[in-house]
Structure 1
Amino acid sequence: MNHKFYNKSKKDQNRFQIVLALISLVVVSLLIVVVVYVEFYLIGVLIIAIFLSIIAPFFDMPSLKKSGKMQYYSPLFIAEKPKNGLITIHGGTLFDYYFGIDRNMSGKQRTNFIIYQYLIGLLSLIEKHQNHPSMKIRGTSYIINKRTAQKIGFQVIETNVFQKMILSYNYFNILISNSLAKNRLAFPNINNTKSFEAEISQLLKRKDYINKLIESLKNKHI
């Protein structure tokens, strides 16, 4: 997996996180001082919560990967450990976008690259679990549209309330990720978020189509 963070030595990974932690500590300390001085406690708590939600993936993802709770199938496609016959999949976090997206790409190239990485990861996932055809895969995305999801074998399901709450809490995190993906300030429409579900067997039937999509996108992000 060509993920720039995990390709670093352990020493360099630790150095990056230590520096980020120190910078974050300074920023939070300054915010607390300002909040106490102006006495805007509610707004201050909100701003600090937003800031912490933005930097959290830079510590959470390496930790979850190390513990085995999350597995990367491509630099921008992650899956949780199977549980009760279900695998929950996720697109890359802000952490992954920061290390995974080439800053020289245009907005269109970045979008194609992200979808390409999603498909590469999905293909790797279904190939790994092809001996468990009844295993279900479930995910939520604001990038993959309903038509594309259905073409690769997914069915659209209702996004549960808890998932919507998580998305709302992480709105600013998603905002930055979306802006990195589009190479411009781009406000995500959480209302466009859709959840998808399919069995491994359904996705395996669409394997040839997924491969064709991968080939068509292969050079579009270069």
Structure 2
Amino acid sequence: MELKHGFYLKSKNEQVWIQVRIGLTALLVLLLVFLGCWKSGFFLPLIIGIPLILSLVAPFFDVPALKKSGDLIYYSPLFLAEKQKKGLITVHGGTLFDYVFVLDRSLNGRQRSNLIMEQYLEGLVNLIDHLQRVNSENLTIRGTSYILNKRTVKKIGFQVVQTDFLQRCMLLYNYFNLVVANSLAKGKLTFPKLGQTKTFETKLYDLMERRDFIKSLNEKLKQRQVL
């Protein structure tokens, strides 16, 4: 599967240079905040700023590193899955890193949302096809999202389950990251509603039964992108 992702299509040197610039920019911002706090004797902005900036820049380093190690696998430019662990595969929508390098800024908010959903479905089809080849029908597929609604996840074969406390803490820690990512996805400043976060899971054999239906939905969304 060819990965049409703006970052991975670049040369290794270009990828490293992008990361260097991001790292240096983050350090410069933190240094300026530190100097301002040192001068005023008020360090609360620095205490708040460090985790905010780290949450923003971390995906630009973590995601490529995890992809390289094989711990994260792309099934479409905006749909990733963790390596199988004890019969469980955890799936993720695109991160802020992916949105920056995949989303076309010329698209309006509705078109971007359609593209994201289309990429989710394409990734899900590719995941099903890959797992079918390795004969793993009893695998559990699980994900967490504040974007997908309950009706949509049920339609494609998932059941909504309780989101664990640790996952909610991670979402809260990364809230500023999610604000930026969600705003990119919508084409305007948008604050995600974490209260609408849902964890969904299914067995691979249930997804296999809905594979053709998911594929048809994917094709319809692709046609909308063309029109």
TM-score (norm 2): 0.95
Counting matched residue pairs gives 222
Tell me how far 1:39 sits from its aligned partner. Answer: 2.4
Indicate the residue corresponding to 1:33 in structure 2: 35
Q: Which residue is equivalent to 1:139?
A: 143
The 2-side partners of 1:99 and 1:162 are apart by 29
Measured against aligned partners, the alpha-carbon deviations of 1:159-197 in whole angstroms (never above 9, x if no partner) come to 000000000000010000100010001110000110000
Aligned match of 1:221:
225
Q: Taking structure 1 as the reference length, what is the TM-score of the superposition?
A: 0.98
Q: 1:49-91 CA deviation, whole Å, 9 max, x = no partner?
A: 1011111111111111111111111110010000000000111
Q: CA deviation at 1:13?
A: 0.5
Alignment check: 8 A CA contact 1:77 1:122 kept:
yes
In 1, the alpha carbon distance for the partners of 2:48 and 2:41 equals 13
Matched, 1:181 2:185: yes
CA distance in 1, matches of 2:40, 2:94: 37
Task: Measure the CA separation in 1 of the matches of 2:9 and 2:32.
Answer: 33
The unaligned stretches of length 5 or more in structure 2 are none
- 1:207 and 2:211 matched: yes
Provide the residue aligned with 1:195 in structure 2. Answer: 199
Contact 1:113 1:220 in 2 (8 A): no
Aligned structure 1 segments of 4 or more residues deviating by more than 6 angstroms: none
Task: Report if the CA contact (8 A) 1:81-1:87 is conserved.
Answer: yes
- Of stretches 186-195 and 43-52 in structure 1, the one that deviates more from structure 2 is 43-52
| Aligned residues with identical type, % of pairs | 50
CA–CA separation in structure 2 for the residues paired with 1:39 and 1:101:
41
Partner residue of 1:82?
84
1:55 aligned to which of 34, 57, 64: 57
| Matched-pair contact (CA < 8 Å) for 1:110–1:221 | no
Q: 1:24 to 1:43 in 2, by over 3 A?
A: closer
- 8 Å CA contact retained: 2:8, 2:15: yes
Query: What amino acid maps onto 1:152 in structure 2?
Result: I
| Root mean square deviation, CA, Å | 0.9
Superposition deviation, residue 212 in structure 1: 1.2
Structure 1 partner of 2:129: 127
